[in-house]
Chains A and B, each alone.
Chain A
Amino acid sequence: MNTGVPHQAGHGPAARDSYRRALATHFGVLVAALLLFGVDRTLGCLATTLNVVFLIFFFRHLGFAVAAARWAEHDVNAPLVGIETYVPTIAVLVACKDEELVVDGMVAALLALDYPPDALTVVVVDDASTDGTGARLDAWAVADPRLRVLHREPGAGGGKSGALNDALALTDSEIAVIFDADHQPESGVLRRLSRHFRDPRVGAVMGRCVVRNGVESSLASTIFIDYLSGYLVNEYGRQALFELPAYGGANCAVRTSLIRALGGWNPDTVTEDTDLTLRLLLDGYRVRYDPSAVDFEEAVLSSQRFWKQRYRWARGHQKCLRDYWRAILRTPHLSVMEKVETMLFLWVYHVPVLCGMGLLLIALHAIGLGNSSVIQMVSLSALLFAGPFCELAVGLVLGRVERRAVWTLVGFIPAFGMSIMTATKAYFEGMLGTTYTWSKTARSGATSVVADAPELESVG
């Protein structure tokens, strides 16, 4: 298939290190407007613009909630067709770095996957772990020859992308399925993910991730509900209404021929998943989402870890917008509505920044500045929450969660506040070009207990 966009072979468009000039221009325009039109009129126009943006995003979220509420419940449980007869060769790839606490549960789940053994390769990469991860993996490999373990030397570089690229080089399977070290897929995941590759236009398929350690803390329980709405409502709605779900980096499958042609996973980004989604779309391929291909993962337990994780997501996602927006607008492979939705999707982590700006305007309004908004500022507050709350509420209903869980939604109000701060910090640091590298998410391992893990002694 032809590439509609003249971008570099390899890892997408050339990424710039900083956008200080653009940031200075934004600031200059604001100051000029304040001077030219006065504080009240400028802030009023700004508030109106924000309200329009929020209104667009509100209806986008509401649309997803409506689509999911209407169709997702049947879709999650729909009969499968022909999964026994279509079995392309699959390589399951997992990158692990210092994952001793969860690696047993992950390997046990991988070895329990339901797929013809002659069509399945399982490669787990020990990315220069300094704990017992490598030894545990070797013990598993001795106990079960289906598992292949690749040990990377310290300083091999590239983070998760580098490890996955090394693992990919070991296989000649048609499809690569990626999991993270804390993931435990349901046994039918591979058949459910691979069934979508019957369509040659499909480049990647995303499954649904479910939090399994909600019992460990109230934050984990909140993240469990966040994932319910994120996958059962938002991701589902994007597929149902735009056919544009995102490839999410774990519990997802990609055609190896495509990933090889694209030069592998991009080691220059901290959200290689969004990056790959965009590169596939720009090359004319489609990403599909299968809400019934489920794997269970661990949520972070401390708010500090939560902050770090969401900061990484915001930073990477915002970078993808800066790297790809021109290519998206020019590509012939997307219709106008699809381009609009892709831009809105890439804008998602900028919306909290605008929310912060909206709250600032409300504060200024309280002291009598910027009173001339066409749309009243106060309605901002409703729109800030209404869209995501609709998604969360529908997620709870679709997930058939017990009734009293509804009060957990109150916990999202501080989470929204936090996301305003992480996204704003990520925005300014990204624009200023401060250096940032992959930060590994710490695990708990409490819900990763395996009854029949091999003894370490068996390695000798």
Chain B
Amino acid sequence: MSAPEIGWLDRTLEREARRRRASSTVRRRRLVMLEMAAAVAGCIAGYLLLVDHLRHFEVALAANILGFLGVDRISGVLGNAFVVFGPGMEPVVAEMSGSCTILSSVLALTALAAVALRERHQALFGLLAACFFILVANQVRLVLSLLAGRFFAVDALIFFHDWIGSALNFAYTLFGLLIMIGLTMYDAQLAEQDRSGRHTADRPAAWARPGLGHRVPVEAEPKAPRVRVAAFVHRRILPKALSRRLAQNRERRRIDYRVGHEGPGRRAEIVRGLAAKGLSVHTATLLAVAQYETEPMVLDALADAVAERQWEPLHSADVLALRLWARAWLMRAPQQRPSTGRLIAVTGAGGPAGVAVIHALRAAGEDVLALDANPDAVGLRLAGHAAVLPRADQPGYADALIALIAEHRPAALVCTVAEEYAALAPLTDRLAELGTRTWLPEHADVCLDKVEFAAALHAAGVAHPMTAATPEEAIRVPGPWVIKPARGRGSRDVMFADNLRELAHALETVPGAIVQTRLTGREFTADALIDRDGTMVACVPRWREETRGGISVQGTTFTSDAVAEAVAATLRAVRHAGPANVQGFVADSGEVTVVEVNPRFSGGLPLTLAAGADVVNTYVKGILEPDAKLPALSFQDGLRMARHFSEVFYPAEETAAPAVTSESELAR
């Protein structure tokens, strides 16, 4: 746009801004006042135009009725007046004035229907019925006042017409209004509340129009009318094609409340089904789902269905509203879990298990205090709070931990390093005094000592590779071999030997080595969570397809009863409770052999979490509510994981000053 054009635009906008514009409220008020003025003008014009015709019509009608009744001495021959011969045969001309006709009442009701009820089609029928009633009532009034003049006295005619008649006029106009409104209102099937305000429509509470009916049990169900006029007309009178077409129109505007009474899964299914017929078929029901539904699963189903049907012509404003809603729903900002307000401490924040635990806790809205011995541990940069501790096997660990816990007061402590259990166990009471709960396995040592572990599994009859702890015994173990430290961690110091020379070399190299037969078959790891009472809450096995440095980098979840049974038997054998990962092999024959158990979360935990088994937050629930029964967790079979590197960046001086203890310092 060129500069002069912009100048012109600015000037125009400025001029418009200066001009006093009526607010929307003023416009609404003007609209209503204009309509009322038009209604009044319509009434006056209608009165002037029709009054003479109506006087003639009503006089003729009343005269005919009297003739039909066989009453003599009353005649309507003058057109707009009656000639009445009283009891003494004295003639009186009773003129039918404009105010004696039904015109003012009829015009008033018509005007009311036109300005207030015109969007309700049934009001037209109500208006016609009300006008008919008023006509009949006015004829009764006329006939009775004429009869009073004919049989009593002329004064009686005047008294009856002026005073009693005015009261009657008021009464039948009021009744006419009631008839019109009554027919505009809803019958018991379509109404939402009865006359005492009890809800009768059976709308699901979540779909209710606010305040339409107090939800109390209504003893007597509203009875269906004996004669269903609409049903009769549709079945017997209307051609089938027309009836079907009308039904389709009705369905488009009708909300099917039954949908709201179903469970979320079924609702999503119904919504997909309804939308599949076309958005213009059950539009009102679909729009009601968009308006009232709160279950993301159902809303996703509706939005996807709307997105799939963008070719459909925009049949109505409601379909457009659906499209706009679906657009907003699919573009919504990612939902952040509301904070639980709790702080959870996580040790071993530098390891892959620690990182996975921190991510899972934060995703659930927990605030995290990350702890690690290494000032460069990545988890320290991923949590809201972080601190560096001495290693668990170094002096000063206990005091430093207690001091940190006293400072931060986390609600629970999650330990992701099994070797820390021994140092933590004596501190649990002091931690509890500071308000920090823990849930440490009591028999972790059985798992950490591979000799003891082999003995326990042997005693329990769980398949385990033959194990030797001394060079003498090693000779009896069939090769090829795997040699590893009796108390090792991850895959550190693990060696393989195919012949006796290599075996002897490995035994010299690996400190405190044990020797096992190297197994063949598919290697698996199962992440498990055992409740305090020994119930297996979760068991998520995955094929260990590729590992680097002992960490699973590629894997696929699978289900196997044999593996689940072996895992359960193993954990029973070592009397474990809490998180664990069980490693082993499934031989080609299908035999499951368990190699080792780590009594902690595994490095491959993200796959278990992604498969739907939130063992981390379930474990935290178990820590915080020791008496609660933990819910069994299911998982998605056949989910595959490929891992990638991710980075965090922080100033180098943070490593030099390792005691990062507050969020503000982290941010800096």
CB atoms of A212 and B197 under 8 A apart: yes
Distance in Å: Cβ of B134 to nearest Cβ of chain A:
14
CA A402 to CA B196, docked complex, whole Å: 10
- Asked if B170 is at the interface (CB within 8 A of a chain A CB), the reply is yes
**Is B355 positioned at the interface, with any CB of A under 8 Å from its CB?**
no
Residue of A nearest to B26 (CB): A337
Given contacts A63-B32, A393-B181, A397-B181, are A408 and B210 in contact (CB under 8 A)?
no
User: Contact flags (1/0) for B183-209 with A, using CB distance below 8 Å?
Assistant: 111111011111111101100000001
Q: Which residues of B contact A186 (CB under 8 A)?
A: 210-211
CB distance from B25 to the nearest CB of A (A): 5
B113-121, B304-312, B445-453 - the one binding chain A: B113-121
- In contact, A447 and B195 (Cβ under 8 angstroms): no
Binary contact readout A249-263 vs B (1 if CB under 8 angstroms, 0 otherwise): 000000000000000
Quick one: closest A residue to B119, CB to CB?
A: A70
Which residues of the other chain, B, contact A215 by a CB distance below 8 angstroms? 196-198
Q: Can you list, as one digit per residue, whether each of A377-403 has a CB less than 8 Å from chain B (1) or not (0)?
A: 010011001100110011011011111
The answer on a CB contact under 8 Å between B210 and A188 is yes
- By a CB distance below 8 angstroms, the chain B residues around A211 are 197
A406 to B186, CA, bound (A): 11
Whether the pair B185, A401 counts as a contact (CB closer than 8 A) is yes
Chain A residues with Cβ below 8 Å from B291 are 77, 79
Asked whether B186 lies within 8 Å of A382 as measured between CB atoms, the reply is: no
Known interface pairs A292-B210, A396-B181, A402-B200; A59-B116 also in contact (CB < 8 Å): no
Contact with A along B204-236 (1 / 0, CB 8 A): 000001111010100000100000000000000
Q: A79-B291, A402-B188 are in contact. Are A390 and B116 (CB under 8 A)?
A: yes
Residue of chain A at shortest CB distance from B175: A410
A204–B222 Cα gap in the complex (Å)?
40
Given that A79-B291, A188-B210, A242-B29 are contacting pairs, would A403 and B182 also be in contact in the complex, using a CB cutoff of 8 Å?
yes
A224 to B195, CA, bound (A): 8
**B25 and A296: CB pair below 8 A?**
no
Flag whether A243 is at the interface (Cβ < 8 A).
yes
B373 lies within 8 A of chain A by Cβ: no
Q: Is the CB of B211 within 8 A of A76?
A: yes
Interface presence of B174 (CB below 8 A): yes
Q: Determine if B36 and A403 form an interchain contact, defined as CB atoms under 8 angstroms apart.
A: no
Q: Which one of B173, B182, B212 lies within 8 Å of A406 (CB-CB)?
A: B182
Complex Cα gap A61–B35 (Å) = 14
Residues of A contacting B: mostly: helix
Residue of B nearest to A67 (CB): B32
B178 on interface, CB distance cutoff 8 Å: yes
Q: Which of these, A118, A214, A406, contacts B197 with CB under 8 Å?
A: A214
Report Cα–Cα, A126/B186, bound state, in Å.
Answer: 43
A210 touching B115, Cβ below 8 Å: no
**CB-defined interface of B95-126 with A at 8 Å, one 1/0 digit per residue?**
00000000000001000100111011000000
List A183-213 residues whose CB lies under 8 Å from chain B.
186, 188, 192, 208, 210-212
Q: Is B378 an interface residue (CB 8 A)?
A: no
Do A294 and B216 touch (CB < 8 A)?
Answer: no
B194 touches A405 (CB 8 A): yes
Q: Chain B's nearest CB lies how many Å from the CB of A169?
A: 28
Q: CB of A277 within 8 A of chain B? A: no
Whether B25 and A69, one on each chain, are in contact in the complex, defined by CB atoms closer than 8 angstroms, is no
Q: Is B266 an interface residue (CB 8 A)?
A: no
- Which chain A residues lie closer than 8 Å to B191 at the CB level? 400-403
- Chain A residues contacting B119 (CB-CB under 8 Å) are 69-70
B135 lies within 8 A of chain A by Cβ: no
Please name the residue on chain A nearest to B37 by beta carbon. Answer: A59
A62 at the interface (CB under 8 A from B): yes
Chain A's nearest CB lies how many Å from the CB of B208? 9
Q: Which of A59, A63, A220, A397 contacts B196 (CB 8 A)?
A: A220
What CA separation (Å) do A293 and B198 show in the bound complex? 18
- A381 in contact with B170 given A66-B35, A396-B185, A400-B191 (CB within 8 Å): yes
Residues of A within 8 A of B190 (CB): 400
The count of chain A contact residues (Cβ–Cβ below 8 Å) is 61
- Assembly CA distance A241 to B25 (angstroms): 6
Residues of B close to A37: CB separation below 8 A: none
**Does B28 make an interface contact (CB < 8 A)?**
yes
B136 beta carbon closer than 8 Å to chain A? no
Min CB distance A390 to B, Å, is 6
Say yes or no: is B127 at the interface (Cβ < 8 Å to chain A). no
Interface centre among A65, A70, A79, A407 (most CB of B within 10 A): A70
Q: Is the CB of B116 within 8 A of A69?
A: yes
Let me know if A401 and B188 touch, CB within 8 A.
no
> A400-B192, A402-B193 in contact; A296/B35 too (CB < 8 A)?
no
Q: Give A246 Cβ to nearest chain B Cβ, in Å.
A: 16
**Residues of chain A from 50 to 67 with CB closer than 8 A to chain B in the complex:** 59, 62-63, 65-67
Contacts of A447 in B (CB 8 A): 214, 216
CB A210 to nearest CB in B, in angstroms, measures 5
Would A210 and B222 be within 8 Å (CB), given that A66-B116, A221-B196, A447-B216 are in contact? no
Q: Judge whether B214 and A296 touch: CB under 8 Å.
A: yes
A68 to nearest B CB, angstroms?
A: 8
Complexed CA–CA distance, A397 and B115 (Å): 15
Query: Contacts A188-B210, A389-B174: A378 and B166 contacting too (C-beta < 8 A)?
Result: yes
Residues of B within 8 A of A337 (CB): 26, 29
Q: Which residue of A lies closest to B23 (CB)?
A: A243
Of B163, B166, B186, B211, the contact of A208 (CB 8 Å cutoff): B211
| Chain B residues within an 8 Å CB radius of A394 | 116
CA distance in complex: A415, B444 (Å): 82
Contact A393 B177 (CB under 8 A): yes
Contact in complex: A240, B116 (CB < 8 Å): no
Least CB distance from B199 to A in Å reads 10
Contact indicator A402/B195 (Cβ below 8 Å): yes
* A366 CB → nearest B CB, Å: 8
B33 at the A interface (CB under 8 A):
yes
A409 within 8 A of B: yes
Residues of B within 8 A of A409 (CB): 178, 181
Chain A contacts for B212, CB-based, 8 A: 76, 399-400
User: Known contacts A76-B211, A186-B211, A224-B196: does B36 contact A59 (CB below 8 Å)?
Assistant: yes
Which residues from A are CB-within-8-Å of B198?
A: 214-215
* Docked complex Cα distance between A207 and B349 (Å): 52
Considering the complex, which residues of chain B in the window 1-47 have a beta carbon less than 8 Å from any beta carbon of chain A?
A: 25-26, 28-29, 32-33, 35-36
- Given contacts A69-B117, A399-B212, whether A242 and B185 have CB atoms under 8 Å apart is no
A403:B214 contact, CB within 8 angstroms: no
**A314-337 near B? 1/0 per residue, CB < 8 Å:** 000000000000000000000001
Q: For B194, give the chain A residue with the smallest CB separation.
A: A402
Which residue on A lies nearest to B211, using beta carbons? A294
User: Who on chain A is nearest to B105 by CB?
Assistant: A382
A118 vs B339: C-alpha distance when bound (angstroms): 12
Q: Which chain A residue lies CB-closest to B112?
A: A390
Whether the pair B173, A382 counts as a contact (CB closer than 8 A) is yes
Select one of B33, B174, B188, B210 contacting A293, CB under 8 A.
B210
Shortest Cβ distance from residue B33 to the other chain A in the assembled complex, whole angstroms? 7
- A66-B35, A403-B185, A403-B188 known; A210-B178 Cβ under 8 A: no
Contact A70 B210 (CB under 8 A): no
Most buried by A among B117, B183, B188, B197: B197
Give B532-554 interface residues, CB cut-off 8 Å to A: none
Q: Is the CB of B210 within 8 A of A77?
A: yes
* B211–A402 touching, CB < 8 Å: no
Interface pairs (10), CB distance under 8 Å: A186-B211, A208-B211, A211-B197, A221-B197, A291-B211, A389-B177, A400-B209, A402-B194, A402-B195, A447-B214
Kindly list 12 other residue pairs between chains A and B, CB separation below 8 angstroms, not including A208-B211, A397-B185.
A59-B36, A241-B25, A241-B28, A294-B211, A390-B116, A400-B209, A401-B191, A403-B187, A405-B195, A406-B185, A408-B195, A409-B181
Chain B positions near chain A (C-beta within 8 angstroms): 25-26, 28-29, 32-33, 35-36, 108, 112, 115-117, 119-120, 163, 166, 170, 173-174, 177-178, 181-188, 190-198, 200-201, 209-212, 214, 216, 222, 291, 341
In order of increasing CB-CB distance, the 3 nearest A-B pairs are A214-B196, A294-B211, A405-B195
